[in-house]
Each structure stands twice: as structure tokens, then as C-alpha cells.
Amino acid sequence: MTELRESTPGCPEDLRDLCTLLDFVRWGASRFNEAGLWFGHGTDNAWDEALVLVMHTLHLPMDSKPEVLSARLTMSERREVMAILKQRVDERLPAAYLTHEAHFCDMTFYVDSRVLVPRSPIAELIRQEFQPWLATEPLALLDLCCGSGCIGIACAEAFPEARVDLSDISSGAVDVAQININRHQLNERVRAVQSDMFSGLEGCSYDLIVCNPPYVDARDLAEMPAEYQAEPEIALGSGDDGLDFTRRLLREAANHLQPEGILVCEVGNSWEALESAFPEVPFLWPEFEDGGHGVFVISREELLAYQGHFADE
């Protein structure tokens, strides 16, 4: 009998040596570690990253029974799985860009390289319905710098009476956000708007503005691993100290907030620079049980009270 040997270009292993789903997860994790890949877009280790890619390629849910790991793959499935694992190594793309799927607030979102992969700690605040800072349930809400729209859409689920605007300067991001609005069947309450800050939202006022703006400083941006460099730079970098956008936001947000409205904004590692720039401003920094940092809460009243400080910058 003639021996059947199958291999994938660039992969010296005989595909016949890898048979089960578990074999491919182990092989992928080993190659990821060998290549020194970086994780942080939904997983934090090579094993989980390989598992996500293998399960996605085989059209299996992540909560499948453990017995599925022992299932043997057909030869065509082996080729497909090997190809996506190799792509992860060769192109250093986050897994979410290969699967076009990311999770946020227990919801699934379409993503591609036009938007950041969702990972904001603001998810925890959404689950808590922004308590104790919201006086009443918001009826009008803005997700500024929306990217995929995950924050605003999760807020729409948390506040079923709210009208939600998703806004981004990037037309590509607005297109992705619209895909997710359609996916979650929220067109009656949620809209996607292309806007540079508030320029496309003239006359609009909100009870809650949530913003995950670009906030990476120049040094961190230059030193980011390749997986982060694959994300759109316009959604990451914001000047030498990472606060160019946030300074504008602090000056303009009060004009688009209702009297008891609040601004929730993520600045990540730039929180120290923000505190240093505005030491008198009473930014409130929530603590996160699920991990994460660098998100501040400030009221419209406080924004107005400290306008002189923001104008001086």
C-alpha cells in the first residue's frame, strides 16, 4: 500500500502525525511560544490562543464538551487548521483578525483590521450600569471613538430605553459598527455616525458619554509588539503623552452632556500624565475587580467648573 503523506509548505511536520483537535492545539501553542508571539487581544497565553483558532476553524463553540478534543480531524480540516495557525505565526495578527470575531460584555462582535480588538475594562462598568455615578437610567448615550461599536451596543443592551449613537472619525470603523448594529438587530435605537469628536453631532446632547479614545503615548506606541502594531494607529496614538484627544474632549464634552450627565473615559497607562496635567481636577478612578485601570468618571458640573484649567492646556 502506498503511504499517504501530506504536508503544508513551511510546516515540516507530516500532517498524518497530528490527528486530533488536541494535537493541533498543542502544536499551535508550541509554535506560538517558539515564535515569541504576544497575546492580549482576548487571550493571554499560547494555549488559549491556539484553542480559539482551532475551534473557530472547525466551526465548534468554545463551550463544547471536553471530549471533542479527542476527535480526529479529516485531512482537509487538518490543512485548514494548520494554515490558520501558520498565519498567526507568520503575520503576527491578533486571533480576532483571523476569526473576525471578538467578545465583549458576553456579546459577540464582528471585527477586522479597521478597528481595535475589544478589550476595555469599561465592560465591568456597563455590567454595573455605571452605578453609583448615574443619577437615573440614561435615555441618550454616546459611544465616542466607537471602533467596532462594542461599548455602545453593550450599553444599548444594558439600557433598553436608551437611544445610542456610535461615533468615530474613521469611515471604516463606522462601517464595522454598522455591521454590529445589524448583527444585534438594534437599528431602531442605535445609529453609527462618522464624526471628528463632536463635529458630526451638532445639537446632540447625552446623559452619558462613554469614550475609549486613542491614548497611547509616542514611546509606548513605538515599542508595541507586532500584534498591537497591526491595529489602526489612528485608534491608538495621541501625541507625545497620549492625551491630545483627551484634552479636546475635556474642553468640549460639557456642551454635549445633559445637566446631570457624566463622561466616562479610558486613558489607560496615560492616567498618570492626565493627573499631572490637571492636578486640581477631581477625576474619579474606579477600581476593577476583573482587571484593568485608567478609566475616569467626571460629571458635567465638574467639567464646567474646571473649564479654565482645560482651556489653559
For the whole prediction, is pTM greater than 0.85?
yes
Cβ(227)–Cβ(41) below 8 Å:
yes
The model's confidence at residue 3, banded by pLDDT at 50, 70 and 90, is: very low
Burial of 96 per CB tally in 10 Å (0-12, 13-18, 19+): buried
pLDDT at 312: 58
pLDDT at 284: 97
The model's confidence at residue 239, banded by pLDDT at 50, 70 and 90, is: confident
Contacts of 74 (CB under 8 A, 6+ apart): none
* Residues paired with residue 166 on neighbouring β-strands, in sequence order: 143, 192
Q: Which residue has the higher pLDDT, 311 or 52?
A: 52
The model's confidence at residue 135, banded by pLDDT at 50, 70 and 90, is: confident
Mean pLDDT (the chain) is 93
The model's confidence at residue 310, banded by pLDDT at 50, 70 and 90, is: confident
* Separation CA 263–CA 207 (nearest Å): 9
- Per-residue pLDDT of 256-272, as tens digits, reads 999 999 999 999 999 99
State yes or no: cis peptide before 132, omega within 30 of 0. yes
Provide the terminal-to-terminal Cα distance of the chain, rounded to the nearest Å.
79
- Per-residue pLDDT of 138-183, as tens digits, reads 999 999 999 999 999 999 999 999 999 999 999 999 999 999 999 9
Contacts of 260 (CB under 8 A, 6+ apart): 135, 136, 207, 299, 300
Phi and psi of 207, rounded to 5°?
-80, -25
* Separation CA 276–CA 79 (nearest Å): 53
pLDDT at 10: 44
Neighbours of 248 (CB within 10 A): 17
238 alpha-carbon distance from chain centroid: 17
Sheet-wide strand order for 140-144: 190-194, 163-168, 140-144, 206-211, 257-266, 295-299
